[in-house]
Amino acid sequence: MHRGLQAEIQRIVLLTLFLLIFGFMNGYLLLTLLVGGGLYMLWTFSHISKLYDWLDRGCSGLPPEAGGVWGDMGDSLYRMQKRNERAKQSRRSLSDRVRNITGALADGILTLSADRVLEWWNPAAEQLLGLKKSDRGQSIINLVRDPRFVAFIQNQTLNSPLELTSPEDPTKTLLFTAAEFGDGDVILVAQDITRLRNLEQMRQDFVANISHELRTPLTVLSGYTETLQDSLQNGDNDLPSHWKKALDQMQQQTDRMNALANDLVMLSQLESTREPAPSEPIQIAPLLQQISEDARIIAADNYKVELECAEAMVLNGDMKELYSAFSNLVFNAIKHNPAGTTVQIKSYATDSANFIEVSDDGNGIDPKHISRLTERFYRVDQSRASSTGGTGLGLAIVKHVLMHHGGTLSITTTLSKGSCFSCRFPILKP
Ligand code: ADP
């Protein structure tokens, strides 16, 4: 039993005994008991009232002095109040610390309720998005009205980040990421990636410019090499005949550099355009027909090129880009496989997508390379690259063209059995 309660019971027992003895001695037992009990109740009420006063004062200062159960209760309340104060203090200092940390961050951080109402934000968010105090409690889609942002923040999964021009400063590019926490609340992070984008742009411009600039000297070199080769063929006696091999190799390497410069120009053009490809309707059957004829010329009689087309297939996009993507796949199937390989070009449609597939029954590719095949300059066999004349950019171009047309590339391959490169273009329902 609690010590205070024990003392109180002892006090009541002693008081009752005293009153009984005193009552017997003076002959007024009942009256003595009544008066004693009344005094005890008055004493108790005075303690209760002091305790109430202390509680009303917000427990400030020490609890009222009392013994027994009332003293104990006052002490317990006092300890509880001190514990609360300490907890409140540590919560306050934690929230101050969090506020200081988020205040020091360069990234904008905002918290939204489950229905996307703005609850809190840090100073960086204020600057990046131009928020004002009065915006608290407003829906975020009233403040950032870009339809892409609206779609992004209303998407239940919130899993893909969004890049957008700052609504406050059009020279800035922001990257938005969001995640759910608690009861469907959302934390939104706005990162200023302007510097990154500028650097990326500089890199793209540099590659595009240098590849473009390389074309002119390469054309001159190629022109002179061809002239010298012709002279040698026509029996020009001023040229030693052992130059033939050197000239052939010079021509081969100039062609290779030309192909590399062309691929780099194409890739940087694809990278720099963020808009979807121009949507002219492209008839796929004649395009694939053209590619298979070009492939037959390259393959001579060494390879079999088969074509199976869905006659009426039309894709919206850019003719030059699509030619480049499909021809890269077809020429790869010839370039990277031995003579005797059959290359199959096929187009077909399902309810949800159009497919263009290029498959071969050649060498196949070790599955460990598949995830890296579309990287720039990635080659399965580095040593064979120069003999095949590849630039290592073909599949990177294919991937970018497909992305530009809302499509995807999937690769299935088995070593020694062959590979299939399948381009999928979803059919968008109106
Ligand atoms: P490259 O200019 O070397 O052809 P790509 O990006 O087009 O560069 O291809 C990357 C690599 O993928 C090639 O080096 C080759 O090893 C492999 N590859 C591509 N297509 C095929 C194919 N049909 N069969 C076998 N290997 C292939």
| Conformation bin of residue 364: beta by default, left when phi > 0, alpha when psi is -120 to 50 | left
pLDDT at 419: 96
pLDDT at 271: 82
pLDDT at 4: 75
* Bridge partners, 345 (sequence order): 307, 358
What rounded mean pLDDT belongs to the chain?
89
pLDDT at 384: 53
pLDDT at 301: 86
Where residue 430 falls among pLDDT bands split at 50, 70, 90? low
The total of other beta-carbon atoms located within 10 Å of residue 153's CB is 19
Nearest ligand 1 atom, CA 395: 6
Most confident of 156-165, 221-230, 271-280: 221-230
pLDDT at 2: 73
Cα dihedral 372→376→381→383 (10° resolution)? -160
Q: What percent of the chain has pLDDT over 90?
A: 57
Q: How many CA atoms lie within 13 A of 105 on its CB side?
A: 19
Asked which of 6-10, 117-121, 364-368 is least confident by mean pLDDT, the reply is 6-10
* 377 CA → ligand 1 middle, Å: 10
pLDDT at 200: 87
* 175 CA → ligand 1 middle, Å: 34
Of 62, 39, 38, 37, the closest CA to residue 51 belongs to 62
Query: What average pLDDT score do residues 133-152 get?
Result: 91
Query: For 426, phi and psi rounded to 5 degrees?
Result: -60, 145
Whether 357 is in the pocket of ligand 1, judged by its Cβ within 6 Å, is: no
Tens-digit pLDDT profile for residues 231-284: 888 876 677 778 888 888 999 899 989 888 989 988 888 887 777 777 789 999
d(CA 419, CA 401): 20
| Residue 220 identity | V
pLDDT at 387: 59
Q: In this model, does residue 353 exceed pLDDT 90?
A: yes
pLDDT at 159: 78
The total of other beta-carbon atoms located within 10 Å of residue 42's CB is 9
Closest residue by Cα to atom 7, ligand 1, is: 394
Tens-digit pLDDT profile for residues 55-108: 888 877 888 887 778 888 888 888 898 999 999 999 999 999 988 999 999 999
d(CA 162, CA 146): 11
pLDDT at 33: 92
pLDDT at 310: 81
Closest residue by Cα to atom 14, ligand 1, is: 379
d(CA 219, CA 307): 35
Whether 400 is in the pocket of ligand 1, judged by its Cβ within 6 Å, is: no
Q: What percent of the chain has pLDDT over 70?
A: 97
Q: In this model, does residue 386 exceed pLDDT 70?
A: no
Query: What average pLDDT score do residues 141-162 get?
Result: 88
**Of the residues 260, 264, 363, 373, which should be mutated to test ligand 1's pocket, given the most ligand atoms within 8 Å of the CB?**
373
Asked which of 15-29, 154-168, 205-219, 384-398 is least confident by mean pLDDT, the reply is 384-398
Closest residue by Cα to atom 8, ligand 1, is: 392
* 395 CA → ligand 1 middle, Å: 7
Q: In this model, does residue 383 exceed pLDDT 70?
A: no
| Residue 112 identity | L
Whether 380 is in the pocket of ligand 1, judged by its Cβ within 6 Å, is: yes
Whether 365 is in the pocket of ligand 1, judged by its Cβ within 6 Å, is: yes
d(CA 416, CA 5): 90
**Of the residues 298, 326, 328, 332, which should be mutated to test ligand 1's pocket, given the most ligand atoms within 8 Å of the CB?**
332
| Conformation bin of residue 72: beta by default, left when phi > 0, alpha when psi is -120 to 50 | alpha
Nearest ligand 1 atom, CA 332: 20
CA 290 from chain center: how many Å?
Answer: 40
Q: In this model, does residue 293 exceed pLDDT 60?
A: yes
pLDDT at 215: 87
Asked which of 2-6, 187-191, 340-344, 394-398 is least confident by mean pLDDT, the reply is 2-6
Where residue 382 falls among pLDDT bands split at 50, 70, 90? low
Contact between residue 263 and residue 391 where contact means Cβ atoms under 8 Å apart? yes
